[in-house]
């Protein structure tokens, strides 16, 4: 999918499309252009009207199939923008939802994400009804409004239905954890922000071809593999932590992280190339999220090949005061992975 990324910035704000770019790449999208504008938000379009025209031209010349805003869009803004630029316009939350949907393994996670998706969609449908009723499209009056109303009622009924199903599923999680323990495997989950190096580390410590030879794990957790060095220790990748999730998305996020519920140990990855304040902020947020899972955690400071020895020393000192077990590594270069494995074996 060819996409254009857009962000509107308040004057003085730092441009920050990096995270959004990493997110859309998780979905295998190709970024064909980026648009940034400094201005206060426009109530109708988020960006300025002139910029919308520019965006429409960019969509055409780049044959983009979708436009993704870093800023949250109101349903009305998304609707109006889509009509003007000619392709679907979505915001970061829609992308996050799609990543969760891709990663959801268990029936419960799938339901949670479906629930969040419908809640995201509901106000958009309301906006469609409003637009159909407005004088903007006199041709659509009548029939169209009825269809959209039917769709609106259907989504509302589905939401009520999902709430009931989710309630009945709450218990199965603990049962699954017990079931796995009986089989004698240890499960280690990799956690951390998007781009911290989880997938790279998974590849470094496991054999790509040696998927776990057990139906239970391959169906429930497709990104789970046995360690090269200890076949009874399974390593699993998880969806990356994401900043600024609204409450309605947070439940879906937690469900997507359910490998962590089942894990004996979490290896939390921290990106050493982040600035110290950014590193501290991300580590604190990660620790807060993980606290809800009551699982033992060790921290790996990754990408140490990108910083000087001085910097490493300083960052290790800062992190030492915030974590119990800390191992500096480079997943990409394979540096110090033996020490990490040793720590995994003793803690799992
Ligand atoms: P994930 O989002 O946490 O799964 O992160 P990835 O494993 O996809 O890595 C994100 C980016 O960081 C990729 O471009 C990796 O090549 C890079 N990366 C991962 N580990 C290291 C490392 O130890 N050193 C360096 N220099 N880059 C790394
Ligand atoms: Mg990854």
Whether 303 is in the pocket of ligand 1, judged by its Cβ within 6 Å, is: yes
Top mean pLDDT of 11-20, 69-78, 230-239 is at: 69-78
Residue 137, domain member (yes or no): yes
Q: What is the pLDDT of residue 124?
A: 81
> Residue 217: pLDDT above 70?
no
- 319 and 260, same domain (yes or no): yes
Measured in Å, residue 315 CA sits from the centre of ligand 1 at 18
How many structural domains does the chain have? 3
Could you say which ligand is closest to the alpha carbon of residue 18? 1
Give the residue, 138 or 232, on which the prediction is more confident: 232
- Of all residues in the chain, the percent with pLDDT exceeding 90 is 47
Given the DSSP bridges, would you call strands 233-237 and 224-227 parallel, antiparallel or unpaired?
Answer: antiparallel
Q: What is the pLDDT of residues 2-41, one digit of tens each?
A: 999 999 999 888 888 988 998 898 889 999 999 999 999 9
Q: Which of 99, 124, 150 is the last residue of a domain?
A: 99
- 26 and 126, same domain (yes or no): no
Q: What is the full DSSP assignment across 271-320?
A: ETTS-HHHHHHHHHHHHHHHHTT--EEEEEEE-GGGS-HHHHHHHHHHHH
Mean pLDDT of all residues in 136-164:
76
Measured in Å, residue 208 CA sits from the centre of ligand 1 at 17
- 69 and 86, same domain (yes or no): yes
Could you say which ligand is closest to the alpha carbon of residue 19? 1
- 199 and 305, same domain (yes or no): yes
Whether 332 is in the pocket of ligand 1, judged by its Cβ within 6 Å, is: yes
Measured in Å, residue 36 CA sits from the centre of ligand 2 at 27
Binning pLDDT at 50, 70 and 90, where does residue 222 land? low
Expressed as residue numbers, the domain containing 26 is 2-99
Residue 122, domain member (yes or no): yes
- 85 and 109, same domain (yes or no): no
Q: What ligand 1 atom has the least distance to the C-alpha of 201? A: 7
- 91 and 160, same domain (yes or no): no
- Of all residues in the chain, the percent with pLDDT exceeding 70 is 89
> Domain of 83: which CATH number?
3.40.50.11060
Contacts of 20 (CB under 8 A, 6+ apart): 5, 7, 68, 70, 92, 95
Whether 328 is in the pocket of ligand 1, judged by its Cβ within 6 Å, is: no
Average pLDDT, the chain: 86
Between CA 24 and CA 219 the distance in angstroms is 25
Measured in Å, residue 331 CA sits from the centre of ligand 1 at 7
- 152 and 214, same domain (yes or no): no
Q: What is the pLDDT of residues 168-193, one digit of tens each?
A: 766 666 666 666 667 778 889 999 99
């Amino acid at each position: 999918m060819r996409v254009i990324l857009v962000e509107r910035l308040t004057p003085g704000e730092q441009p920050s499309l990096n995270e959004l770019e990493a997110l859309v790449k998780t979905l295998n999208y190709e970024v064909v252009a980026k648009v940034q504008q400094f201005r206060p938000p426009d109530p109708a379009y988020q960006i300025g009207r002139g910029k919308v025209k520019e965006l429409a031209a960019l969509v055409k010349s780049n044959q983009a199939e979708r436009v993704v805003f870093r800023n949250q869009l109101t349903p009305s803004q998304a609707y109006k923008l889509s009509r003007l630029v000619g392709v679907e316009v979505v915001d970061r939350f829609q992308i996050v939802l799609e990543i969760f949907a891709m990663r959801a393994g268990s029936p419960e996670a799938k339901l949670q994400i479906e629930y969040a998706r419908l809640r995201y969609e509901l106000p958009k449908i309301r906006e469609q009804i409003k637009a159909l009723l407005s004088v903007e499209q006199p041709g659509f009056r009548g029939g169209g409004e009825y269809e959209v109303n039917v769709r609106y009622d259907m989504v509302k009924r589905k939401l009520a239905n999902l709430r009931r199903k989710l309630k009945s599923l709450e218990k199965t999680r603990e049962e699954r954890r017990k079931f796995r323990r009986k089989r004698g495997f240890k499960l280690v989950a990799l956690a951390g922000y998007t781009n911290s190096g989880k997938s790279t580390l998974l590849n470094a410590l496991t054999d790509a071809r040696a998927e776990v030879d057990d139906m239970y794990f391959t169906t429930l957790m497709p990104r789970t593999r046995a360690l090269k060095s200890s076949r009874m220790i399974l390593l699993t990748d998880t969806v990356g932590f994401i900043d600024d999730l609204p409450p309605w998305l947070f439940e879906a996020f937690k469900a997507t992280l359910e490998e962590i519920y089942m894990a004996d140990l979490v290896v939390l990855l921290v990106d050493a190339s982040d600035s110290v304040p950014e590193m501290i902020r991300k580590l604190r947020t990660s620790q807060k999220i993980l606290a809800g899972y009551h699982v033992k955690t060790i921290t790996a400071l990754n990408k140490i090949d990108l910083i000087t020895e001085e910097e490493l020393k300083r960052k290790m000192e800062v992190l030492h005061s915030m974590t119990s077990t800390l191992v500096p590594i480079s997943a990409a270069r394979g540096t110090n992975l033996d020490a990490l494995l040793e720590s995994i074996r003793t803690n799992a």
